[in-house]
Amino acid sequence: MANIGVDIELAKAILEQGNLVAIPTETVYGLAGNAFNVDAVAKIFKTKNRPTFDPLIVHVDSFDRLSEFTEELPEKAIQLTKMFWPGPLTILLKKKALISDLVTAGLETVAVRMPRHELTRELLKRLDFPLAAPSANPFGYISPTSAQHVHQQLGDKIEYILDGGECGVGVESTIVSFENKLPKVLRLGGISIEEIEEVIGKVEVNSHSSSQPQAPGMLKSHYAPKKKILAIDDLDSEVNDLSAFGFLGFNKPDLRFKLENQMILSESENLSDAAKNLFGSLRALDQNPNIHTIVISFVPEMGLGRAINDRLRRATAK
């Protein structure tokens, strides 16, 4: 089983050997390997049981590292990185040959971000290579926001989990592409549309997920618990016995369900808190032995609420 700790030098040694380490970020925990080592990247896909048509995000410790493996940055990409790096923003850039097609699922662009978590930034500074790192969970399941979540799911498949505590943001990064230098948000995440538009003006927002994603985390069905999950509007009105149903609500319980079977994202209606609590709450309901079905209620469709609702829609996707 994997060891859990804060030994950066041990994590560095494992990664330099071509093996994998789970790393903390401000969004979710990642399953990291040497982005320049195609065998290490292949291990990421195998360990997660992730399809190779779903590309990975490459993590760097500084803006200067980008020139090693990407082409020229569009001006609006530079503006965004100056404002939001380090942080939950991923940008798509034209890749150089140093990044394998396995990392990018054959695409000519590579997804890159600079994480904000101090432990992982220190690890990246000590490495001679960037880290490819999707979320550290079996493919399609709820993303992990603590070292213990990773251990429960992948502890028997990796050597080490770098423990950085609970993730502060709780949903994945926002992904922005710049095809023909025109910014487009491909995945909603920890940086809101409003924040992005304050920096670079109006942006197009991707309106649907894809079975052939242009960027990581764009599949229609994703972030899903193992138990049956449905939106509250899809709950059959003729179901009288809700004793084995769980409920995930935004700011208040639903009295139709047992209180002990409910998780509330933010009683104070704080969307940042709701995002931070999202995956942990879904996981708690999924692990509750008294529940066979999870019913979810959406949050206000604004700011981080858009990213939360995106994850909830994909968790309930057929």
pTM, rounded to two decimals: 0.94
Asked whether the beta carbons of 315 and 222 are under 8 A apart, the reply is yes
Known binding site for ATP: residues? 50, 59, 109, 135, 143, 187, 223
Known binding site for L-threonine: residues? 27, 113, 133, 173
Q: Tell me where in the chain the CATH 3.40.50.11030 domain(s) lie.
A: 228-315
Cα–Cα separations (whole angstroms), residue 219 to 52, 204, 317: 13, 19, 10
Domain spanning 228-315 has what CATH number? 3.40.50.11030
CA distance 105 to 216: 10
Q: Residue 19 burial (CB < 10 Å; 0-12/13-18/19+)? A: middle
Asked whether the beta carbons of 151 and 145 are under 8 A apart, the reply is no
| pLDDT at site 211 | 54
Q: Tell me where in the chain the CATH 3.90.870.10 domain(s) lie.
A: 3-205
Tell me how far the alpha carbon of residue 253 is from its chain's centroid: 27
The fold of the 3-205 domain, in CATH, is DHBP synthase (3.90.870)
Known binding site: residues? 27, 50, 59, 109, 113, 133, 135, 143, 173, 187, 223
Per-residue pLDDT of the chain (318 residues; tens, 9 = 90+): 999 999 999 999 999 999 999 999 999 999 999 999 999 999 999 999 999 999 999 999 999 999 999 998 999 999 999 999 999 999 999 999 999 999 999 999 999 999 999 999 999 999 999 999 999 999 999 999 999 999 999 999 999 999 999 999 999 999 999 998 899 999 999 999 999 999 999 999 987 665 557 778 777 778 889 999 999 999 987 788 999 999 999 999 999 999 999 999 999 999 999 999 999 999 999 999 999 999 999 999 999 999 999 999 999 987
| pLDDT at site 208 | 66
